[in-house]
Every structure is written in structure tokens, then in C-alpha cells.
Structure 1
Amino acid sequence: MRHCAVCISLFLASMLFTSLAPLAAQDPVAVRPVPVDSLFPEPLADQRSPRFALSFPAMLTHAIDTQEPDGYGGIREALEFGGVKSLVRLSPGSDDGLGVELALGAGIFTLFDAFEDDLDNFGWEGSGFLALQYKPTYRFAAKFGLHHLSSHVGDEYLANYGVTDVPIADGAELADGDTYGFFYVRDSLLLGLSYQLSPIVRVYGEARYSMRMFEYMYCYNDYPWQAGGGLEIIFKPNGVTSGLGYREGWGSWYVAADVSMYQESSWFPSTTVQVGYLMHSPLHGERFRVGLEYYYGRAPLAVFNHADGTEPTPWDSIPLEQYIGIGIWYDL
């Protein structure tokens, strides 16, 4: 699997470099500070893409121990805060929708069991990236940069397991339940690719390699690779050529699917599918969505995905969760 991830990264890099020529041939180059949009479209169904969101997953199966006597995990509440913004862009003077830019993204994801009496905050994750994003044509875009993820168990969750003295000593276990530590960290190189197959269909992929990885109690993780990708169908043209814009109207229906895989979890394909209605602001580059979401994969909070560091977690030992929920998402 390591060789497969390396091949994916090399393929993305080759696609990036072979697409440099079209932009280099265009003159003159204009400097545009703080453009309203981003050259690399953020994935709709990627659960950790920075955005503002509120969703209510109804758990069909759950892995995070909720101290409930049955296997039903109840209804959770997920709150997200964040966004992605272009800082500065170099683009052809005739078209500011193409070029090279420096982009910044940051967000917080929090998960609550707000509809139960005995638990509240499961935990939270902070993520962010700084990347060079490149768009030589209206079909192709790529990005390369640094990505950070830190995942933490919530204090109220720890309190309900009888943990009173903090910090816990290295290697210690909680009083009850499975072994969860306080946090999980990945600092990674990322390489992403996006391609607009048609005016309504887009595919994308991304590979990450963690340069620094702390697992739970400061233990190094030996499986740094992560890969993913997805497919989006927005039933209204997405601008494949200059001048092709959205039709007039409120918005558009969309379908999106995203798959995320971690080497530490034996490349299990955690899958998210969204169906909903999207409203887009061409003047400000923002998107508002409402829809349904289905998920099947490893526990959404990375800190709850235990790996002992000696070998990747086999599929039959991965803490899997499944839910269907409703949500609203606002992409900056």
C-alpha cells in the first residue's frame, strides 16, 4: 500500500508539472491581493474541509463508547467553524480565474451527544493548511502545501469516564472503556488534483504524507500515508470555459461522494455521500448548502481510531460508524 500511495503522489506531481506551460505562455501577469474565490474548489463531501456547518447525524451503528446499553448511538450534533481564502494571486491580465495563488484554510470540528443526558462533548479536531494552488485552465487545478490535523478527546467525555487527574501520564489508560489518549496529531505534505470532466461533473484526489505524527500519548505512528478523492455532480454549469457561468436562479441540486483512506487503518475506504441543494455567490465565491448526508467508515474523530503502532489496524478491528443525517454547510 505504501508503494500505491507513492505512485498516486508521483502521478499528481506529473499532472501538475505538465500543465505549467499553458499559464506560462499567457501575458501579462497581474497581481491580485485577496481574491474572492479559490482556484482549487473545496470538496463538498469532504468532512474535514474547513467551513461553517451544523449537522445532526442519526447513528445507525457507533464505535465511540456512549455508555448506552444497546448498539444505537442516538442523535449527535456536529458544529464546524472555518473557511478557505486566497491570500494573493498571480494571474493572466485578461482572466483572474486562472493563475497561481497562495491559499490559507483553517477550521474546527466539534462533536456532541447533545440529545443524551450522560454525555455532551465527545471531542474536537483542528485542521489547517497553507498551499500553493495552480489553475492553468478552467478544467484543471492542483495544490501543494502543508496540512495540520490535531484531534482531541473532549473534557466532558473524559469526565464521564472518571478521569479526574490531568494530564494523564504517558501510556496510562482511562478508568473505563477503551484506551483513548488526549490527542492525535498529523503534520503533512499534501498534493491535490482537481479535474472538471464536464460542465456539471468534477473529480478530485489528494495524497498526504505525515512528516510528524504523534499518536495519543506522544507515540510515533509508523504509517504516515493518507489518500482520498471524490466525485461531484452539480446540476448547473460550473464554468469549464471562460464566460460560462451559472444560469439565473436560486441555485442547483447536487450529489457528492468522498472517500478517505489512512494507511494506519489498512486503507479502509471511509465513505461520505451527500445529496442536497446548493446556492452559489459568483461575486463573493461563497456557497450555502442544505442536504442529507450518509457516512460509513472509521470513527469521525481521529483520536478514537486506536492503532498500537506495530501494524496497521485490520479492517475487522477498525472502530466503524454509520449514520444518516441532515445538515447545512456554508463554504467561504
Structure 2
Amino acid sequence: MHRLIFTILTLVVIAPAVRAVDDSDISGDELFGDVQWVSVEGDPESPLLFHQAKHRLDLASVDCDRICRQATGATVRSDTLRCDNDRREYQVLPDGLMWRSYLAGPQEPRIGTVIQYDADDNIYCDASLGGRVGLLRYGTLGSKNPRGWQWDLEGGVITRLNVRESEDVDSMDYRIGTLITRSEGDWRFKFGYFHISSHVGDEYIERNPTFERVNYVTESAIWGVGYVPSESVRLYGEFAYAFSVSGGAQPVQIQTGAEYTPPAKSVTRGAPFAAINLNFREAVGYDVSSTAQIGWGFQSLESGRRMRFGLQCGAGPTSQYEFFERREEYIGIGSWFDY
């Protein structure tokens, strides 16, 4: 069997490294000592050969970012140190997202759990199970700061368990939607549709036989814009208008917020994060529901996925729409996995 060896010198390290040296105390000789050879071996008849080569190049790109971060003390934005080119093409089931879920958004699709204690001496566990994935992209390759257009699918369920009542299910909100997202430079955009329907747990009805369930449902169009002035900061706002409502829901919902996520010096060490989300809904007279988080997170340099641990506090109308007219104030601890 003939074997083919692709040997690729990662010269892409050199150009950003030169810029990095200008702003650091590291000598060029010391930095360029990290230039590596990347090899891919395989059968030239194999359809996976070029996929393997691309994968190794993606890994080299991650190493490029790491070297530049070390040279600059992680003070230079990664998008100015990009190792990939700006070639754009159609991709089915692409890696990465152009619009990520809000860190402090309680109704965002993710995997997470928050155990919270409220002002009425209740203890709840709000558990989320869901996520967001890309279906089709026209844009740059890879998951690191992709640019272009992307079509996403999202979905999840947000469940409230009553810890003092043997973790009975009090309520749950189901969310499913689809988005067209765009990323260029410092700006992010989204447009799409999402459905929310709220339900009450059987155990809650058994404990409260006089409770009258509301069929809170919205079918909404949504527009959003995000601004990312640096690798550490994101500001965002969105407007949703429901063209079909029931159960006390009203058409307008507005969200805005800010996030601070400084890059970690290594994946294993992690880095702090802080986020705030403000939610205004016509159904509650635009009374603001605020959620704030602070903690420590670990983020993959390649995929951008993040695991976080921290504190969460909130005040205002509840995020559980089955009880949308209730107000709550709480503090809790949580863990979140973000796509």
C-alpha cells in the first residue's frame, strides 16, 4: 500500500507572532522556537485523508493561538491573531456557533442546574436540558470565531423541582426554535422563530387542588444584535414579537445584557466570569426580571464550549412562565454547560 505523507510547516504562527513580539518582552528567537511541523499519514485512496489533514491544521491553529497568548500575556485579541484564512464555503453541520446562548439567560437552551433559596423560604432546583447546534453555514471554516452566515436549531426544557417537597416537579417550560445568525468583525446578528409552552407538574396540582393551570404559549419572531468589542466582553439586545399567544401571554418581550469572560491562560486553570441579563415582558407590564451570575469557568480553545460554576441571584417576575404573575427574589449556586 502506498502511503502519502503531508508535512505542513505551520508558518501561520510567524505572522501573528511578529505582531505579538512587538508588544511583549519575549524575544523572537524564543517565540519562534515553538514553530512546529505537523504531519498526516494515510492511504492516498482513503476518503478520510484530507479530512485528517484539515483536522491537524485546525489543531495547529489552536497551538498558534496558545503561542500568541503566551507571548502577549493574553492581552491581544484572538481575532487579530487568526491563523486561519478568510476563505468561505458552504458547510453542512458546521462546527461552532456564531451566536451563543446568554450566560445569565434563565430561558436559554443549555445544560445547567441552579439550586436556589428564595425570600419566601422555598428551595428550588431549576434544571435545564437542551442546546443549540448549527445545521448549515456559509462562512469560514472551524469553530474558532467563525464568520459568515449560519442556520441553527435550538431546543430545551427548563424544569423547576421543589426541594422541600421531595423534589416534586412544580413546572416546566419547553422551548424550540430556529435561527439565522451572522458574524462579522465585532458584530453578531440573529433572526428567527421560537416557541415556548409552559406546563405544571402533576405533583404540584395534587398539593394545590384549587390551582388553575394557565396554558402560557407564545409563537414568536425574534431579532437580536450583539457587540463584541474585545475577547472578554459581549453586549447584546433582542426583541421578540409573538404572533400567537395564549394563557395570559402578551406579544412583546425584550432582553438585554452584558457578559465579562476574560480568556484563561490555560484550559485547566480556567478564568472568572460575570454576566447580567434583563428581561422585560409585556405580560407583566414590562416589570424587569433581572438575573446576575459570577463564578469560574473552563472553556475549550478549539470548540468554544464552556463549563461554568458559580453564584446566581435574581429578582422580579419569575422565569417559570406557568406562574408568570409571581415575583421572586433568590440567591443560589449553579453549574452550566454552554454550547
TM surpasses 0.5:
yes
Taking a change above 3 Å as real, the CA distance of residues 100 and 114 of structure 1, as seen in their structure-2 partners, is: same
Instruction: State the distance in 2 between where 1:258 and 1:107 align.
Output: 19
Letter in 2 for 1:290: F
C-alpha deviation, 1:36, in angstroms: 2.2
Instruction: State the distance in 1 between where 2:90 and 2:246 align.
Output: 39
Instruction: Establish whether residue 267 from structure 1 lines up as the match of residue 286 from structure 2.
Output: yes
C-alpha deviation, 1:92, in angstroms: 4.4
2:187 is aligned, of 140, 145, 150, to 140
2:175 is aligned, of 127, 132, 140, to 127
2:109 is aligned, of 46, 50, 61, to 50
Give the structure 1 partner of residue 8 of structure 2: none
Give the structure 2 partner of residue 209 of structure 1: 241
Which runs of no fewer than 5 residues in structure 2 stay unpaired? Answer: 1-84
Q: Larger C-alpha radius of gyration, 1 or 2?
A: 2
Instruction: Establish whether residue 302 from structure 1 lines up as the match of residue 321 from structure 2.
Output: yes
Give the structure 2 partner of residue 91 of structure 1: 139
Instruction: State the distance in 2 between where 1:53 and 1:92 align.
Output: 30
Task: Please state whether the residue corresponding to 1:197 is helix, strand or coil.
Answer: strand
**Number of matched residues?**
253
Letter in 2 for 1:283: E
Which runs of no fewer than 5 residues in structure 1 stay unpaired? Answer: 1-25, 61-71, 163-174, 237-245, 307-318
Instruction: State the distance in 2 between where 1:96 and 1:255 align.
Output: 21
Q: CA offsets, 1:170-224, max 9 Å, x none?
A: xxxxx25xxx4242100000001110122311100110000110116xxxx5x31
Query: Is the 1:153–1:183 contact (alpha carbons within 8 Å) kept by the matching residues of 2?
Result: no
Instruction: State the distance in 1 between where 2:87 and 2:300 align.
Output: 28
Instruction: Establish whether residue 327 from structure 1 lines up as the match of residue 334 from structure 2.
Output: yes
Instruction: State the distance in 1 between where 2:307 and 2:137 align.
Output: 24
Runs of 4+ in 1 over 4 A off after TM superposition: 92-96
Give the structure 2 partner of residue 66 of structure 1: none
Instruction: State the distance in 2 between where 1:120 and 1:298 align.
Output: 22
Task: Please state whether the residue corresponding to 2:123 is helix, strand or coil.
Answer: coil
Taking a change above 3 Å as real, the CA distance of residues 81 and 92 of structure 1, as seen in their structure-2 partners, is: closer
Taking a change above 3 Å as real, the CA distance of residues 182 and 34 of structure 1, as seen in their structure-2 partners, is: same
- TM-score normalised over the length of structure 2: 0.70
C-alpha deviation, 1:160, in angstroms: 1.2
Letter in 1 for 2:247: E
C-alpha deviation, 1:74, in angstroms: 2.2
Query: Is the 1:121–1:157 contact (alpha carbons within 8 Å) kept by the matching residues of 2?
Result: yes
Cα RMSD (Å) of the superposition? 2.1
Give the structure 1 partner of residue 24 of structure 2: none
Instruction: State the distance in 1 between where 2:87 and 2:227 align.
Output: 25
Higher relative contact order (CA 8 A, sep 6+): 1
2:216 is aligned, of 176, 181, 184, to 184
Letter in 2 for 1:323: Y
Instruction: State the distance in 1 between where 2:131 and 2:152 align.
Output: 11
Give the share of equivalent positions with the same residue, in percent: 26
Instruction: Establish whether residue 103 from structure 1 lines up as the match of residue 121 from structure 2.
Output: no
Matches within 5 A, 1:229-244: 229-236=256-263
Taking a change above 3 Å as real, the CA distance of residues 212 and 252 of structure 1, as seen in their structure-2 partners, is: same
2:196 is aligned, of 139, 143, 149, to 149
Task: Please state whether the residue corresponding to 1:115 is helix, strand or coil.
Answer: helix
Query: Is the 1:89–1:101 contact (alpha carbons within 8 Å) kept by the matching residues of 2?
Result: yes
C-alpha deviation, 1:27, in angstroms: 7.7
Letter in 1 for 2:137: R
Instruction: Establish whether residue 253 from structure 1 lines up as the match of residue 302 from structure 2.
Output: no
C-alpha deviation, 1:297, in angstroms: 1.2
C-alpha deviation, 1:109, in angstroms: 0.5
C-alpha deviation, 1:127, in angstroms: 0.6
Query: Is the 1:290–1:328 contact (alpha carbons within 8 Å) kept by the matching residues of 2?
Result: yes
Letter in 2 for 1:38: L
- TM-score normalised over the length of structure 1: 0.72
Give the structure 2 partner of residue 67 of structure 1: none
Task: Please state whether the residue corresponding to 1:76 is helix, strand or coil.
Answer: strand
